[in-house]
Amino acid sequence: MAKKYFPSPPLTYLLCIVTLFTLIIPISSRPATFLQDFKVAWSDSHIRQIDGGRAIQLVLDQNSGCGFASRSKYLFGRVSMKIKLIPGDSAGTVTAFYMNSDTDSVRDELDFEFLGNRSGQPYTVQTNIYAHGKGDREQRVNLWFDPAADFHTYTILWTHKHIVFYVDDVPIREYKNNEARNIPYPTSQPMGIYSTLWEADDWATRGGLEKIDWSKAPFYAYYRDFDIEGCPVPGPAICPSNPKNWWEGYGYQTLNPVEARRYRWVRMNHMIYDYCTDRSRYPAPPPECHA
C-alpha cells in the first residue's frame, strides 16, 4: 500500500495549538523548599536543614522526636517527598508523612507511616485514611527494597474521584470516592502536609513486641525534593473539579493500565495486612471494601 502524504500544517496553525495548550495546561509550580513551604511543628532542636533547606534531617533520641508541617493547607492535588529511612535496627520507631485537616472530631487524614524493624527484616509501610472523623482503615505493605539505603519517592494523589498512595510511582493503595453510597470521603476540608519521627514501641514493630533499643540512638531520617501541586487555602474559593487543575484531568481519575498492573502485583506479593479482610475487627467488611 502506498504511503499517504499529509502536508505539514501551516505555522500559524501550530502556534494556535501551542497557545491553546498553554492556556489549558497549568504551569508547573516551583519546587517546594523547607524554608519557604514548611515550618517546624515541634522540637526544632531535632530538625536540621541541609543544602540550604532543600533537604532536612529529622532526629529521634531519648529526649524527643520531632515534626514539621506545611505553612499552607491544600484542597486536592498531589504532594510528594523523597525520604531515606532509619537504617539498621529501627524497631519501635515511626517515620510518618501525611496530610491532616487539623480538626478534632471530624478530621480528615491521609497517612504514610513507616514502621521500624529489627535489622534484616523488611520495612513495613502502613497507610490509613480518615474521612469525616472515621478512620481505622489500615493497610500494610512490605517494601520490596531497602528504603534506608537511598532516597525513594512517596506520593499522595488526592482528587475528587480517588486517593492514591504511590511508592516510586507504584500505586500501593487506592481509595475511591463513593459518597453516592454514603461512604465518607474527604472533599471539603483542606489539609496540611506533615512529617514526624517519633517513638511508638507499644505498637509499631510486631504489635509492640519489639521495643526500641536506645543504645542505637540517635535515629535519623532524611527528606528532600519536596513537591506540592495543589489548591492552597486560602486561595481559589472551593478549588472546584476543574480540568485546568491537571490532577482533575481524565487521565488521573482512575489507575491507568500500567498502574493497575503494578497495583495488583503489590497486593499479591507485598500486602501483609488489610482491614477489609480482618474478620476479628470487622465480622462484616466495611462497605467501601466492596467498592
pLDDT (tens digit, 9 = 90+) per residue, 61-82?
999 999 999 999 998 999 999 9
Sheet holding 109-115, edge to edge: 38-42, 66-70, 192-199, 93-100, 109-115, 124-130, 139-142, 271-274
- Specify the pairing of strand 271-274 against strand 139-142: antiparallel
Contact present, 189 and 108 (Cβ < 8 Å)? yes
Q: Residue 115 and residue 123: Cα distance in Å, rounded?
A: 7
Cα separation of 109 and 133, whole Å?
A: 9
Please pick, among 113, 210, 229, 248, the residue that the annotation labels catalytic. Answer: 113
Confidence of residue 243 (pLDDT cuts 50, 70, 90): low
Q: What residues are paired with 83 via a beta bridge?
A: 152, 223
Q: How far does CA 1 lie from the centroid of its chain?
A: 51
CA–CA separation, 99 vs 111, rounded Å?
7
Catalytic residue among 109, 199, 210, 229: 109
Query: Is residue 109 among the annotated active site residues?
Result: yes
pLDDT of res. 1: 43
Domains of the chain: total? 1
Grid cell, residue 252, equals: 488521573
Strands, E assignment, 73-204: 73-84, 93-100, 109-115, 124-130, 139-142, 152-158, 162-167, 170-176, 192-199
CB neighbourhood size of 25 (10 A) = 12
* Size of the chain in residues: 291
Rounded mean pLDDT of 119-127?
A: 91
Let me know if residue 1 belongs to a domain.
no
Residue 86 has pLDDT above 90, yes or no: yes
Q: How confident is the model at residue 223 (pLDDT cuts 50, 70, 90)?
A: very high
Return the ∠ at Cα 193 (arms to 219 and 43), rounded to 5°.
40
Residue 82, C-alpha cell as written in the block: 523523597
Residue 39: which H helix or E strand, with range? strand 38-42
Within-domain flag for 135 = yes
Q: Please give the Cα distance from 161 to 259 (Å, whole number).
A: 16
Query: Cβ(185)–Cβ(178) under 8 Å?
Result: yes
23 lies in a domain?
Answer: no
Q: Which pLDDT belongs to residue 116?
A: 94
Looking at the domain assignment, is residue 239 inside a domain? yes
- What residue numbers bound the domain in which 200 lies? 28-290
- The pLDDT of residue 238 is 53
Query: Does the residue 54 lie in any domain?
Result: yes
Asked if residue 88 is part of any domain, the answer here is yes
Residues 146 and 181: their CA atoms lie apart, in Å, by: 40
* CATH code assigned at 223: 2.60.120.200
76 and 245 in contact (C-beta within 8 Å)? Answer: yes
Q: Is the pLDDT of residue 27 over 50?
A: no
